[in-house]
Structure 1
Amino acid sequence: MFIETETTPNPASLKFLPGQPVMSKGTREFATPESAEASPLAQAIFDTGEVVNVFFGSDFVTVTAAPGANWTDLKPQVLAILLDHFVSQAPLFAPGTAGGIAVPPEEDGMLVEERDEDADIIAQINELLETRVRPAVAGDGGDIQYRGYRDGVVHLQMQGACSGCPSSTATLKHGIEGLLKHYVPEVVEVRAA
């Protein structure tokens, strides 16, 4: 088995492509060692002691190194962990955990209270995020989660390589905000959640 790696716009993150599906649907981010207990793979990567984020996409794993960590030393460790996992066909999630998909926004307390009269606007926003934004962000080793819409303001959360990326603010403000404003005139601003 050969695992490819790609750089991301975030210099602290690398994208690992095992050449097979990672998540059958959705995405999953582990921002702490405690959250990684749901996944033996994520836990093993955190156990290197030099990782601050692990993100599972459809066909990739993005790993963000801790400040001061050296990818020259860390990359072979992560590759060995990934290789062992995928060759052994071990389960991605521990039995009885809430693996599989990203935590819905209403479960993490970040959802902006929405109004029923905004349903059409929200549907347009989500359609654009799914068809135009998510594929581009996944190409950079991350994901974007919709967190709500109210009074012209869209709340989004960057994940994976995109969550700590130096260019994430520019991506939100100039890229995503411009796209949403163009196609959904009711949108006046995009904010990071």
Structure 2
Amino acid sequence: MKEYNITVVATNNPKILKFEANHFLVKGQYEYKNIDEAKDSPLAQQLFYLPFVKTVYIASNFVGLERFDIVEWDDVKNEVAQQLVEYLNAGEPIVIEEGSDKKQPITVYAEVTPNPAVMKFVCNKRIVPATFEFKNIDEAKNSPLASALFHFPFVKEVFMDENYVSVTKYEVADWEEVNMQLREFIRDFFSEGKEAVAAEAIQKSNATKQQQQTETNYDDTSQQIIDILEEYVKPAVASDGGNIQFQSYEAESGTVSVILQGACSGCPSSTFTLKNGIETMLKNMMGDKIREVVALNG
């Protein structure tokens, strides 16, 4: 039986908190404004007995709660997290989903990326709640999927995000020769109900992210850069099978450092293209505060 743990994650809206679980909860996405709307969710119904709960969101591996102004989250979040842990570990139903007893057919298709060494394999389901990057089989010990992929001698690196896996190959193999093999392997892996990343690794990732949010006090300029990257750059990068992370901002030199992951890492063209694209965008949006963007491979 799965053992659930909950990590409390802040959102951009101070009235909404995410309670992230270390296992997936539901296949779909659900929003309930009141207890009548929550007829198909025993969990949401129970949460509405808390007088401060205004809206309940349930999706993937988290429960999101919007509060009324009668309380502050700091006063009640720990009690809510504990209640969720007890409910989930009791094996109580979360959402009664239509067709939940039927096995979900898994489809996987391959997409080329700007990096000729990287192929993106996209699934019709969410496979991880956050980004995970594995440079070798030792780093992949908590990822059953990455560990299995590294047994292919031509697999160099593995990157996962949301609903896709980006695989970096060695030059010894051509994609025409191994593309179908990898696609079918990934499809069969998920068809058997296996998890891409172990629950413990997801929980550790959530805890690390929360700790970083607590410990890191970005200055206003750094936070503005992060917001721009999140809104304008990351979606485009993700569509190419990669990711970009803010590393630092040096006010004196006006230098922004970012880390490229997945298909973007080591790509012959993306470092130049992204560096100049991001540099132009940040200069246009933030003026003289930005003089240079340095792109580093993850």
Q: Which residue of 2 aligns with 1:121?
A: 221
Taking structure 2 as the reference length, what is the TM-score of the superposition?
0.57
> Does the CA-based 8 Å contact 2:264-2:271 persist in structure 1?
no
Q: Which residue of 2 aligns with 1:19?
A: 124
Secondary structure at the aligned position of 1:10 is classed as: coil
> Does the CA-based 8 Å contact 2:158-2:167 persist in structure 1?
yes
| Aligned pairs (5 A) from 1:16-165 | 16-24=121-129, 26-94=130-198, 96-97=200-201, 101=205, 119-151=219-251, 152-165=254-267
> Does the CA-based 8 Å contact 2:110-2:179 persist in structure 1?
no
CA separation of 1:99 and 1:6: change in aligned 2, threshold 3 A = farther
Q: Which residue of 1 aligns with 2:72?
A: none
Greater C-alpha Rg = 2
In 2, Cα distance between equivalents of 1:100 and 1:134:
23
What amino acid is aligned across from residue 143 of structure 1 in structure 2?
Answer: N
What amino acid is aligned across from residue 187 of structure 1 in structure 2?
Answer: I
In 1, Cα distance between equivalents of 2:291 and 2:192:
49
CA separation of 1:100 and 1:54: change in aligned 2, threshold 3 A = farther
What amino acid is aligned across from residue 34 of structure 1 in structure 2?
Answer: D
Q: 1:5: how far off? A: 1.0
> Does the CA-based 8 Å contact 2:276-2:293 persist in structure 1?
no
> Does the CA-based 8 Å contact 1:27-1:100 persist in structure 2?
no
Higher relative contact order (CA 8 A, sep 6+): 1
What amino acid is aligned across from residue 118 of structure 2 in structure 1?
Answer: S
Secondary structure at the aligned position of 1:172 is classed as: helix
- Structure 1 residues 181-190 or 165-174, which shifts more? 165-174
CA separation of 1:176 and 1:101: change in aligned 2, threshold 3 A = farther
Q: 1:57: how far off? A: 1.1
> Does the CA-based 8 Å contact 1:28-1:100 persist in structure 2?
no
Count the aligned residue pairs: 183
Q: Which residue of 2 aligns with 1:169?
A: 271
What amino acid is aligned across from residue 88 of structure 1 in structure 2?
Answer: E
Consecutive unaligned residues in structure 2, runs of 5 or more: 1-105
In 1, Cα distance between equivalents of 2:186 and 2:125:
12
Identity of aligned residues (%): 38
Q: 1:51: how far off? A: 1.0
